[in-house]
Amino acid sequence: MFSLLGGLRRRQAGSKDVARERLRVVLMHDRAGANPELLEQVRDALVQSLSPLVDMDRRGIQVDLRRQGQSLALVASIPVRGFKRGAGGRG
Amino acid sequence: MGKSIVITSGKGGVGKTTTTANLGMALAQRGARVALVDADIGLRNLDVLLGLENRIVYDLVDVVEGFCRLRQALIRDKRCENLFLLPAAQTRDKTAVSPDQMRALVAELKESFDVVLIDSPAGIEQGFQNAVAGADEAVVVTTPEVSAVRDADRIIGLLEAQEFHAPRLVINRIRPAMVSRGDMMDINDILEILAIDLVGVVPEDEHIVVSTNRGEPAVLQNSSLAGRAYRNIAARLMGEDVPFLDLQSANGGLLGRLRRIFGG
């Protein structure tokens, strides 16, 4: 009896956890007030500030909000072709 | 001088109107003089849940526009004579009333009623703004679903921005058996996410369907568990300290009971 109940519970567990996790992520976006246009502006600002230093593939840039533990992280993935000549600290 | 409480949710279909009707009836049965205001202009339904739909002569918009006096538009419930309904207009829309007009209307009601419950429409636009305009307190209704809790979070943010410092939460339509097997978010999951005070938990209950069919709020039936939950919420709104119903044991089913016996 014991194991039967345990088995039932194991098999069916999870959908509540899925709901809770999805909700957490959705609310982080909602609460941060993030919207696609805003992320687009963040992307443009990154391009502008990094372009004197980095030669990057602008079409491949991805900017998104992700959950990291209890907080929200702004994650940018920027494909780099190389660093610009004279941009280093020794230049 | 009474107090006014808006019942709101963001998402539609989570039970705002059912909650308003039941809390109104429960508060009136406790002896309070209660006015229910249907602020869902254009989509009125509170009249139907209360079984008062055939007695409407004037509505909220008629009062605001000066076609009748407030007293003429209020419908007295025959089952409980402390309970009154101010119905919404059905043939107009939300723009027929402004937040200032609602504020004045609710202030006038508070002069002669102990409690004014305002049933908010779904959404966050003008209908919502109208509904919250005259309210002193707010009750947010949600169900244990991702979409409903998400919208509740948005509404709580908007309420806090409008100086409602302690909106309180009703979790509606919880299914204890599904919670037991981990297929529905439980009370703690939701409270942890929304971080506001809980004022009540209402179980899913077939009595609600029957009572809606009949136009008789479930609090009128002693056998309804949801009705009992609503009576408890009414007591808490009046400042009483009432313990929460133990839904897991009241309605957990055979499996739930066995699990408790075996310590699962």
B106-153 pLDDT tens trace: 999 999 999 999 999 999 999 999 999 999 999 999 999 999 999 999
Of A9, A23, A24, the CB nearest to B181: A9
Buried b (16+ CB within 10 A) or exposed e, B29-49: bbebbbbbbbbbbbebbbbeb
Q: Are B149 and A16 in contact (CB under 8 A)?
A: no
Cβ–Cβ gap B182/A6 under 8 Å: no
By the 10 Å C-beta count (0-12 exposed, 13-18 middle, 19+ buried), B175 is classed as middle
- Chain B nearest C-alpha distance from A42 (Å): 24
Give the pLDDT confidence score for residue B81 in this predicted structure. Answer: 95
- Which fold does the domain B3-261 belong to in CATH? Rossmann fold (3.40.50)
Mean pLDDT score of chain A: 77
Inform me whether the C-beta atom of residue B260 falls under 8 Å from chain A C-beta atoms: no
Query: Rounded CA gap, A43 and A64, in Å?
Result: 9
- Chain A nearest C-alpha distance from B17 (Å): 25
Torsion of CA B39, B42, B46, B49, to 10 degrees: -170
Cβ–Cβ gap B153/A27 under 8 Å: yes
Taking the CA atoms of chain B, what radius of gyration do you get in angstroms?
18
Query: Rounded CA gap, B167 and B108, in Å?
Result: 23
- Chain A nearest C-alpha distance from B150 (Å): 7
* Residue that is written with structure tokens 């016996």 in the block: B261
Cα–Cα nearest to A61, from A74, A44, A73: A44
Query: Rounded CA gap, B66 and B77, in Å?
Result: 24
Cα dist from A72 to A42, A55, A68, whole Å: 15, 28, 6
| More confident of the two residues A48 and B251 | A48
Inform me whether the C-beta atom of residue A10 falls under 8 Å from chain B C-beta atoms: no
> Which residue of chain B has the CA closest to A5?
B259
Give the pLDDT confidence score for residue A91 in this predicted structure. Answer: 43
| Contacts for B9 with CB less than 8 Å, ≥ 6 apart | B15, B16, B120, B122, B140, B141, B142, B148, B151, B152, B155
Q: Are B16 and B118 in contact (CB under 8 A)?
A: no
Inform me whether the C-beta atom of residue A13 falls under 8 Å from chain B C-beta atoms: yes
Strands B75-76 and B83-86: antiparallel
pLDDT tens across the length of chain B (264 residues): 999 999 999 899 999 999 999 999 999 999 999 999 999 999 999 999 999 999 999 999 999 999 999 999 999 999 999 999 999 999 998 899 999 999 999 999 999 999 999 999 999 999 999 999 999 999 999 999 999 999 999 999 999 989 898 999 999 999 999 999 999 999 999 999 998 999 999 999 999 999 999 999 999 999 999 999 999 999 999 999 999 988 877 544 555 455 555 544
Of B183, B193, B259, the CB nearest to A23: B193
Contacts of A20 in chain B (CB under 8 A): 185, 189, 193
By the 10 Å C-beta count (0-12 exposed, 13-18 middle, 19+ buried), B120 is classed as buried
Contacts of A9 in chain B (CB under 8 A): 181-182, 259, 264
> Which residue of chain A has the CA closest to B148?
A23
Of B150, B181, B258, the CB nearest to A12: B181
Contacts of B150 in chain A (CB under 8 A): 23, 26-27, 30
> Which residue of chain A has the CA closest to B186?
A16
Query: Rounded CA gap, B183 and A9, in Å?
Result: 10
Within the 17-36 window of chain A, which residues sit less than 8 Å (CB to CB) from chain B?
A: 17, 19-20, 22-24, 26-27, 30-31
By the 10 Å C-beta count (0-12 exposed, 13-18 middle, 19+ buried), A7 is classed as exposed
User: In chain A, where are the structural domains located?
Assistant: 2-83
Give, to the nearest 10 degrees, the angle between helix B253-261 and helix A2-12: 120
Give the pLDDT confidence score for residue B94 in this predicted structure. Answer: 87
Within the 160-199 window of chain B, which residues sit less than 8 Å (CB to CB) from chain A?
A: 179, 181-186, 189, 193
Q: What one-character DSSP code corresponds to residue B197?
A: E
Cβ–Cβ gap A5/B182 under 8 Å: no
> Which residue of chain A has the CA closest to B259?
A5
Give the pLDDT confidence score for residue A71 in this predicted structure. Answer: 67
- Chain A nearest C-alpha distance from B185 (Å): 5
Measured in degrees and rounded to the nearest 5, phi and psi for residue A75 equal -110, 120
Q: Are B96 and B64 in contact (CB under 8 A)?
A: yes
- Chain B nearest C-alpha distance from A32 (Å): 12
